[in-house]
Structure 1
Amino acid sequence: MKKSLVTISTSLMLLFGISSGASASSNTYTVKKGDSLSKIAKTYHITVSNLKQWNHLSSDLIKVNQSLKIVNPGTTVKSSPVKTTPVKTTPVKAIKQITVSASAYTLNFARCTGITATGINLKKNPNQKVISVDPKVIKLGSKVYVPGYGYAIAADTGGAIKGNKIDVFIPSQKAAIQWGRKTVKIQILN
């Protein structure tokens, strides 16, 4: 009986230990040479402000091999792998929601330079999540969430993009055609 209790206790400790380690490692990023907070934030489609808040940073200074917490909006983060009480984080809140007609665009036509209205080079960064907007409706530089596309930046304009219309950038022509045209409710995050 005593041996069974010890075996069960050990198994439970291992189970909880392994599970907290996996949870902690899946929400961390190790800083590499050449990284900056803005580069990391852009990669994970989060804000620099949130990244600093989650990691208790008072400046933009980070060091190689530093471990940073990365939180998906609306989730919680454990303050340390040993503690089991989650720390509540503020989810990214939309400052405005609007319904738009969304279509997709690619760089597969002759007149396209691949440089957005805000200077992002989509030929060099084909996986960048960018949408074209009417700047009178959505300010250029705004971070947005588009259902079915994800977090993106309003970084481009287009001749046919007037009013509540957006174009989502998709690098593959086939995938852009599959996107088609749809009506979606987007969230403007800043």
Structure 2
Amino acid sequence: MKKLLIVLSFALVLFLGTSLESSAASNTYTVKSGDTLYKISKTHKVSVSNLKTWNKLKSNTIHPKQKLKVKGTAVKTAAKAKAKTPSRSTSSNVVKEFTVSASAYTASCAGCSGITKTGINLKKNPGLKVIAVDPRVIKLGTKVYVDGYGYAVAGDTGGAIKGHKIDVFIPTKSAALKWGRKNVKIKILK
């Protein structure tokens, strides 16, 4: 009977030790080649913003073998603020309104990674409405309404996007070419 209690006690200690170790391990993630903050955020069901905050990252750049905290104190994210996101624009939701020159881009070009400046994978999420902006004019992460395009998020930048110019993401090259270049009204939303 004593031997049985000793064996059970030993087994319990091993079980608890392994459980605590795996719990600690699940709070961190080791970056692998090809990982992005967006990919890691989706895998661990956290926001890119939280990952950057918890790991004191100033950019979206990560490196293989880098250890990242994937659990921590939650930061208010766009998903949590969704109740405040307007489903339709009203004058009280519009912070600013102006005209921009809009062209279209796609993630399906030769040499395109499909990963935006904010870490969104457009090749894996072709239904997302994302625009490329000049962050000095429209901050990255801003919710907008673009006439002729719809509700979108400012999630990318581009070398030719300076001042009052935007690029709207369109999944196919033919549709992007059809969009062309036009002047459109853009509304910056709360």
- What TM-score results when the alignment is normalised by the length of structure 2? 0.55
Root-mean-square deviation over aligned CA pairs = 2.5
SS at the partner of 1:115? Answer: coil
The aligned residue for residue 181 of structure 2 is 181
Q: 1:188 deviation in Å?
A: 0.5
Counterpart AA for 1:163: G
TM alignment of 1:20-39, pairs within 5 A:
none
Matched residue, 1:62: none
Aligned pairs, number: 115
User: Closer, same or farther in 2 for the Cα pair 1:92/1:125, shift >3 Å?
Assistant: farther
Q: Which runs of 5+ in 2 are unaligned?
A: 1-44, 48-77
Q: 1:156 to 1:50 in 2, by over 3 A?
A: closer
What amino acid is aligned across from residue 130 of structure 1 in structure 2? V
SS at match of 1:95: strand
Q: Which amino acid aligns with 1:184?
A: V
Do 1:73 and 1:92's aligned partners in 2 also have CA atoms closer than 8 Å?
no
| Identical counterparts, % of pairs | 63
Which of structures 1 and 2 has the bigger CA Rg? 2
Runs of 4+ in 1 over 2 A off after TM superposition: 46-53
Q: CA 1:91/1:121 → structure 2, altered by over 3 Å: closer, same or farther?
A: same
Q: Which residue number in structure 1 is paired with residue 140 of structure 2?
A: 140
Q: What is the SS of the residue equivalent to 1:151?
A: strand
2:161 aligned with 1:129:
no
**CA–CA separation in structure 2 for the residues paired with 1:103 and 1:122:** 17
Change (3 A) 1:52 1:155: closer
Superimposed CA distance per residue, residues 90-113 of structure 1 (whole angstroms, 9 cap, x where no aligned partner): 776110112100000012222210
Unaligned runs of 5+ in 1: 1-35, 39-45, 54-70, 75-89
1:102 aligns to 2:102 (yes or no): yes
For residues 155-189 of structure 1, give each alpha carbon's deviation from its aligned partner in whole angstroms, at most 9, with x where no partner exists: 00000000000000000111111111110110010
**Equivalent residue, structure 2, for 1:172:** 172
